[in-house]
Amino acid sequence: MKAKIRKIATFLEETRTEAGRQIDPPTRRAAAVAVIENPYAGQYVEDLSELMVIGEELGELLTQKAVAALGIPGPSAESYGKAAAVGENGELEHAAAVLHPKLGTPVRRVLGKGVALIPSSKKRGGPGVALDIPLGHKDAAFVRSHFDGMEVRINDAPRANEIMVAIAVTDSGRPLARVGGLTKDQIKGEDGLR
Amino acid sequence: MPEVRIRKRVLSVEEILHEGGPTAEKPLRRAAALVVIHNPFAGRYVEKIEGFMDDLKPLGLEMARSLIAALGNDAKVVEGYGKGAIIGTAGELEHGALWHVPGGYAMREALGGAKAIVASTKKVGGLGTRLDVPITHINASYVRSHFDSMEVGMTDAPRADEILLALVMTTGPRVHARVGGLKASEIKGEDGLR
């Protein structure tokens, strides 16, 4: 493995009531986060291909961890998202190199499908910085019940020369979704949008 | 006594491969089970609250078992533990103290008898409050390599009338433990201290 991983964390959230109402079955989302060394910290490097390969490795590893935390087969996942936080000696472009060129393919392989864009966010920050991972339905970006987000943080990451990379997967939408829009049973699943 | 009303659960697992030194052959794993419940005593002074400890026992057991499951379903791998509570602002610190007995009982029960006192902490706080849960060896409090802690918390909890309950288990010493003191291999295991 090219990625030099210091730490991996997984988070599993289950919401059982919201606004005093029972959520049955509970809505569940999981995130897997890796803290890796940033090979380009402290310097300007033109070619970021090593981080792209690392993105490919983490795409597979973190998606498997998230799905395992949910205890479901990959194809049962409903929505997904990704995010990265770069430590103080890195550039936002380093987060982009991990997240965008190669990470998506293995995510989709683990989840069976995933024709929708994987929503993403990135930032630079110090230890304990909160990452808000955006979430959207994996086969139809316009499914309104699945627009969501999951906050994750690790108190000791990212250090100055590290990058924190996160993938979130759910088996459900928001707990009391009721603002209309496209519903998941209306998905055509051809263009990734509807 | 009032029933235990759960709003949300979070299970998080950290795997620590290194912290700047040599990569561990077996990564240290820390797991935290968090549950947000309604505080039945919020907003007023209630004299008799002790009975709620019994009500919390089944929940404690469920949380302890979920930690063992998250660490690979084998209680034998668990070497450290700790517990804590964050009480929403309409409650008192004393409501968090209700967790001492059921939290400790649950972990001992699930681990098949652990001798050391369960390290703990608690505080009153608002949404997103973080708690550093102290961790010590399950059979001998003085084992220096196992003094540790895990930061836990939840973005949207505790609300004013809620309590966030936490149990934590770990699988070994700090990843680069090297400051001497009593070793796990030297435990006599009689008094829970050494």
- Give residue-wise pLDDT tens across range B115-136: 999 999 999 999 999 999 999 9
Query: pLDDT tens digits, residue range B32-87?
Result: 999 999 999 999 999 999 999 999 999 999 999 999 999 999 999 999 999 999 99
DSSP string of A51-110, one letter each residue: HHHHHHHHHHHHHHHHHHHHTS-GGG--EEEEEEEE-TTS-HHHHHHHHSSSSHHHHHHH
**Cβ of A10 and B13 within 8 Å?**
yes
Residues of A in contact with B6 (CB under 8 A): 16-17
Query: pLDDT tens digits, residue range A107-158?
Result: 999 999 999 999 999 999 999 999 999 999 999 999 999 999 999 999 999 9
User: How far does A62 lie from chain B, in Å, by closest CA?
Assistant: 13
User: How far does A13 lie from chain B, in Å, by closest CA?
Assistant: 4
Query: pLDDT tens digits, residue range A45-87?
Result: 999 999 999 999 999 999 999 999 999 999 999 999 999 999 9
Give me the pLDDT at residue A20, please. Answer: 87
**Cβ of A7 and B17 within 8 Å?**
yes
Mean residue pLDDT across chain B:
95
Residues of B in contact with A17 (CB under 8 A): 5-8
Query: pLDDT tens digits, residue range A92-105?
Result: 999 999 999 999 99
Give me the pLDDT at residue B113, please. Answer: 84
Give the tokens for residue B93. 């610190």
Domain A5-186 sits in CATH 3.30.1330.110: yes
B123 close to B86: Cβ distance less than 8 angstroms: yes
**Cβ of B12 and A155 within 8 Å?**
no
Mean residue pLDDT across chain A:
95
**Which residue blocks in chain B are alpha helix, DSSP H?**
52-70, 93-97, 100-111
For chain B, list the domains and their CATH numbers: 6-186 (3.30.1330.110)
- CA-derived radius of gyration, chain A: 17
Residues contacting residue A43 through CB under 8 Å, at least 6 positions apart:
none
Give me the pLDDT at residue B105, please. Answer: 94
Average pLDDT on B172-193 reads: 91
